[in-house]
Chains A and B, each alone.
Chain A
Amino acid sequence: MQTILNAISSAAIIAPAAVGFTLLFALFRFANFAVGALMTLGAFACWTLNVPVGLPLWLAAPGGMAVAAAGLWLADRLAYAPLRAAGGATLLLVSIAVALVVENALRLGYGGQIRGFDLPLSRPWVLGPVRLAPEQLGVIAVSAASVAGVMLWLSLSRWGRAVRAAADDPTLAAVRGVPVGKIHAAGIAGAGALVGLGGVLAGVDLAIEPGLGWALIIPVLAAAILGGVGSPMGAVLGALLVGLAEEVTALVMSPSYKAAVGFVVIVLALLLRPYGLLGRELVRK
């Protein structure tokens, strides 16, 4: 029971970023490894508003989301957009470079020391065999609400459907009069905000330091691949399964091996079900 709760807790941290990653992949057709660094950027921006500025976390979090979205937009303008025609492999490498630039910019600005949000100290609730910290519940609730909101928006709203159409076939979307450029901009804003939120949620649970992104990108990537890259629902399912795998492994092995779980999930998913649980074969010319 506690393991399941912890798994949901882990999943809640990676799910929004995994959905952001998968949306970016669906729209731009490359694995954006800078997602981890952008999560860190969101966490630092939120920390700045929360600790030195003194805003409560719920007010600082939207700031972190906005900064991560702005960072993604800037990376797109400066690095990804000019190289769009070069293909997914090139863009993947460029995104690793972007991740290093963001990480080192944060190191330059904030130094290397570990930081944490200003959260009220609280006693965990004990319900029978299960212990639940209030901030854990907060992370789960915010994550679930944001992910559900994005899903509903994608399936019910006119613009959300247009995002899915542009991801499916941008050429046909343009022929049908959908403003694909604006859709891409909306996708960057939305995915960037989700990634930033993921960083804030990670910052509630983990120590905030410039290299945080490298620990986050592997489970995020594992969740997206396991669920089927390009499928937001799959990313959520993938996040739950990765969270569960991490917690179950922690029962039998030292938690220091937790980082390897994501890699193992990626390898198994690619070997056994390359299109993921809810993915479909991407038709590329």
Chain B
Amino acid sequence: MSLLLQASGLRAGYGAAEIVHGVELSLSAGEMLTLIGPNGAGKSTLLKALAGAAQVMGGRVTLMGQDVTGASAARIAASGAAYVPQERNIFRSLTVEENLGIGGWLAGPALAERRAQVLRLLPELAGFSRRIAGRLSGGERQTLAVGMALMVEPKVLLVDEPTAGLSPALVGRLLELLRRLADEGLGVLIVEQNARAALARADRAMVLVDGQVAAAGTAAEIEAAPDLGALFLGRAA
């Protein structure tokens, strides 16, 4: 497994507020890593810092060997890591088809080929490609958000709480989709409130508490850890 994304001593936050204090993290191809932890632990901030959407205050981030510490969101996207924000992750006034086109802005002339590839991975998108994205259901919207991110053929997917607000059946389907993408060779890093459902599909997990890694290991180890189970896994979002 080749190492795709690595962070060492990563500190991040917004303005003067440091929220993530020195996190070590690595993600390899074909691997699904889930970040869990209580609300306000800094999970989303960590993900945003990796995506260039929050301020990096210290440490180092490398993406496929390239130093991207403090790089802009656009540069990180162009370097192969696609970020799917939790909210406002689609263009509501554009059609599904147009959303995919904007998602593939960086794909250039390979756009048509990428669209075909994304529709092969997410065949359900083809069914509503002409609909206005703002009128999609929650599950359809999240699928589109992931589809947009896939348009640039990223090596790494950074997904922030993709299942927030979805019904339990859809939670399972969306996590299965992300698992499938990891099986196809992507590195998938997700922040997830549905800890049990995410652990069931992830390879590894990290528990973040107060901006620091409280525990890390295989998904099975984290799920089995008694104290962590009591602390976090019983909590639904």
Query: Which A residues are closer than 8 A to B by beta carbons?
Result: 158, 161-162, 164-165, 167-169, 171-179, 280, 283
Contact = CB atoms under 8 A, between A and B. Distances in A.
B85 A165 contact: no
Contacts of A161: 94, 98, 101-102
Band of interface residues on B:
20 to 34
Contact of B77 (A158, A171, A176): A176
Contact of A168 (B83, B91, B101): B91
Nearest to B145: A172
A120 B98 CA distance: 46
A277 B106 CA distance: 35
B73 interface: yes
A175 B88 contact: no
Nearest to A155: B98
The residue among A167, A168, A174 with the most chain B CB atoms within 10 A of its own CB is A168
B77 A172 contact: no
B14 to A, nearest CB: 14
A172 B78 contact: no
Interface string B178-203: 00000000000000000000000000
Interface string B67-105: 000001110011000010100111111100010011101
Contacts of A172: 85, 88-91
A173 B85 contact: no
B144 interface: no
B91 A177 contact: no
Contact of A175 (B77, B98, B101, B134): B77
A176 B51 contact: no
B102 A165 contact: yes
A162 B85 contact: no
B222 interface: no
Contacts of B51: 175
Interface of B: 51, 53, 72-74, 77-78, 83, 85, 88-94, 98, 101-103, 105-106, 134, 148, 152
B78 A177 contact: yes
A72 B77 CA distance: 32
Contacts of A176: 77, 102-103, 105-106, 148, 152
Contacts of B78: 177
Contacts of A179: 74
Contact of B102 (A178, A280, A283): A178
B25 to A, nearest CB: 20
Nearest to B132: A280
A173 B102 contact: yes
| Dominant SS among interface residues on chain A | helix
Contacts of B105: 162, 176-178
12 contacts: A162-B102, A162-B105, A164-B94, A165-B94, A172-B88, A173-B102, A175-B53, A175-B74, A175-B85, A176-B152, A177-B106, A179-B74
Contact of B83 (A165, A169, A175, A280): A175
Contacts of A168: 91-94
Nearest to B77: A177
Contacts of B94: 161, 164-165, 168
Contacts of A169: 88, 91-92
Given A175-B73, A177-B78, A280-B134, A158 B88 contact: no
A55 B98 CA distance: 42
A174 B102 CA distance: 10
A178 B102 CA distance: 8
Contacts of B91: 164-165, 168-169, 172-173
Contacts of A178: 102, 105
A63 to B, nearest CB: 34
Contacts of B102: 161-162, 165, 173, 176, 178
Nearest to A161: B98
Given A174-B74, A176-B105, 16 more contacts: A158-B101, A165-B94, A165-B102, A168-B93, A168-B94, A169-B91, A169-B92, A172-B89, A172-B90, A173-B91, A175-B77, A175-B85, A176-B106, A177-B74, A177-B78, A178-B105
Contacts of A280: 92-93, 134
A168 B152 CA distance: 21
A173 B101 CA distance: 11
A165 B51 CA distance: 20
A280 B98 CA distance: 18
A226 to B, nearest CB: 19
A110 B74 CA distance: 47
B213 to A, nearest CB: 26
A175 B132 CA distance: 21
A168 to B, nearest CB: 4
A158 to B, nearest CB: 7
